[in-house]
Amino acid sequence: MTYDVIIFGAGAAGLMCACEAGKRGRSVLVLEHNVSVGEKIRISGGGRCNFTNISVGPENFISQNEHFCTSALARYTPEDFIRLVEHHGIMYNERKLGQLFCDGSSAQIVSMLLEECRSAHVEIRTGIEADTIKKKENFFVTTGGQILTSKFLVLASGGLSIPKIGATNFGHRIARQFGLSIVEPRPGLVPLCFSGTLGSLCSELSGISIEAEVRCGKMKFRENLLFTHRGMSGPAILQISSCRKEGEEIHINLRPDIDWMDVLTINRTEKKLLSTVLEQYLPGRFVELWIQNLGETKPMNRYSLPELQHIAGALANWTVIPIGTEGFGKAEVTVGGIDTNELSSKTMEAKKISGLYCIGEVVDVTGWLGGYNFQWAWSSGWVAGQFV
Ligand SMILES: Cc1cc2nc3c(=O)[nH]c(=O)nc-3n(C[C@H](O)[C@H](O)[C@H](O)COP(=O)(O)OP(=O)(O)OC[C@H]3O[C@@H](n4cnc5c(N)ncnc54)[C@H](O)[C@@H]3O)c2cc1C
């Protein structure tokens, strides 16, 4: 069978591209290897899909080429997607840091995209794996003994995170087959693991969260840090995990709203214990274990000034080195992917292979936590949908 466009992956980017191309009168086939479509949308945002952010710019993305996403984000903006959501009568709310979530369920976003695809006469086949893909003038896809041909082929098969709901390296593999280079993929928005004394401390504090500013290199995020059985998670850690390269240290400022030297100085002549002072600002269990690591807790008036400076410094700049991450099984996104140097930022078409388009998370563009990854999927999908 012959189509104008074959799209691999019925996720956020693939469905957006499909309905846009369909609206332009293209015959579009979407091939999805899962039995259902939009699985990641369904589980996103704790079931409520943080579908965009009111403020989105290239600074919210990680990529070897930080400007690559600029054009697509400017051409299909959060306002455009919000208009679509409103057109479908989906109620939503704004949470912290401009994050927009469905009031109801993420399934509403999947239904909306399917409805758009239906009205654009897009054909979607699920439970389908491609056996081979070849290109002469057109693309030839073989699947289960059938040959499908198309003028345009779109890789929208996502990243490597959460293989148990269908993530595969298909997009990277096919891109490589066509000679496109790949920026080494690694897990992003992922909990970090620690070993030794710090690992035990985290495990004992599992479930406790503290507001922190977490820094790695030039990047810093101020949000909650959550201790887990294997290390640290929470929004601040997830954010920094995407920016951090292996072996790099992380600096944690616990309660950045507090000047620890001021707090300790004010209490310097008191007989109360250091732990009693710190417990006014930090969870008791954390203080107990953290002080054990530091030495002992003494009455405040028995600390010298250099000792207090050391304690204040340790609270404001707790330096840690993770031994690794919880991997793709727990990562929300993949950092890396198809090298943006291979693609036109205006169209998402591969520069070397005419008719081949790459969109969404399969590309080396990774958003921060907060709705940015979906906005990239919508924007890149929409852009490609105007050209295929
Ligand atoms: C738990 C979790 C929560 C998240 N929450 C949010 C959130 O609230 N906000 C946000 O912005 N981002 C969130 N994300 C990230 C977001 O889901 C992704 O960045 C986004 O879905 C990427 O869109 P995509 O279309 O590129 O890929 P996907 O949505 O992953 O779609 C790719 C599709 O391709 C299919 N596929 C894979 N291999 C093949 C193959 N060989 N053949 C055919 N089809 C194939 C997959 O099954 C899938 O349906 C979350 C991610 C996770 C894991």
Output the CA 353–ligand 1 centroid distance in Å.
25
User: Residue 216 in contact with residue 249, Cβ under 8 Å?
Assistant: yes
263 and 137: one domain?
no
Output the CA 239–ligand 1 centroid distance in Å.
18
Measured distance CA(282)–CA(106) in Å, rounded: 35
Buried b (16+ CB within 10 A) or exposed e, 269-305: eeeebbbbbbeeebbeebbebbbeeeeebeebeebee
pLDDT tens digits in sequence order for the chain, 388 residues long: 999 999 999 999 999 999 999 999 999 999 999 999 999 999 999 999 999 999 999 999 999 999 999 999 999 999 999 999 999 999 999 999 999 999 999 999 999 999 999 999 999 999 999 999 999 999 999 998 999 999 999 999 999 999 999 999 999 999 999 999 999 999 999 999 999 999 999 999 999 999 999 999 999 999 999 999 999 999 999 999 999 998 999 999 999 999 999 999 999 999 999 999 999 999 999 999 999 887 788 999 999 999 999 999 999 999 999 999 999 999 999 999 999 999 999 999 999 999 999 999 999 999 999 999 999 999 999 999 999 9
253 and 275: one domain?
yes
Q: Cβ(8) to ligand 1 under 6 A?
A: yes
Q: Cβ(10) to ligand 1 under 6 A?
A: yes
Query: In the prediction, which pLDDT does 368 show?
Result: 98
54 and 176: one domain?
yes
User: Residue 219 in contact with residue 248, Cβ under 8 Å?
Assistant: no
Measured distance CA(157)–CA(159) in Å, rounded: 7
198 and 66: one domain?
no
Q: Cβ(378) to ligand 1 under 6 A?
A: no
Domain that holds residue 320: 192-325
77 and 221: one domain?
no
Number of domains in the chain: 2
Q: Cβ(85) to ligand 1 under 6 A?
A: no
305 and 344: one domain?
no
Domain end point (choices 325, 345, 361): 325
Output the CA 304–ligand 1 centroid distance in Å.
54
Cα dist from 122 to 25, 139, 148, whole Å: 10, 18, 15
Cα dist from 318 to 17, 250, 312, 313, 333, whole Å: 45, 8, 10, 8, 27
Q: Which of ligand 1's atoms lies nearest the C-alpha of 372?
A: 11
Query: In the prediction, which pLDDT does 190 show?
Result: 98
Write phi, then psi, for 242 (nearest 5 degrees): -75, -25
Which residue's C-alpha comes closest to atom 4 of ligand 1? 44
Q: Which of ligand 1's atoms lies nearest the C-alpha of 49?
A: 8
User: Residue 39 in contact with residue 56, Cβ under 8 Å?
Assistant: no
User: Residue 101 in contact with residue 92, Cβ under 8 Å?
Assistant: yes
Return the CATH number at 63.
3.50.50.60
109 and 257: one domain?
no
Query: In the prediction, which pLDDT does 171 show?
Result: 98
62 and 161: one domain?
yes
57 and 112: one domain?
yes
pTM for this predicted structure: 0.97
10 and 139: one domain?
yes
Query: In the prediction, which pLDDT does 296 show?
Result: 83
Domain end point (choices 284, 301, 325): 325
Return the CATH number at 240.
2.40.30.10
Q: Which of ligand 1's atoms lies nearest the C-alpha of 12?
A: 25
29 and 117: one domain?
yes
Domain end point (choices 325, 345, 367): 325
Q: Which of ligand 1's atoms lies nearest the C-alpha of 374?
A: 11
264 and 379: one domain?
no
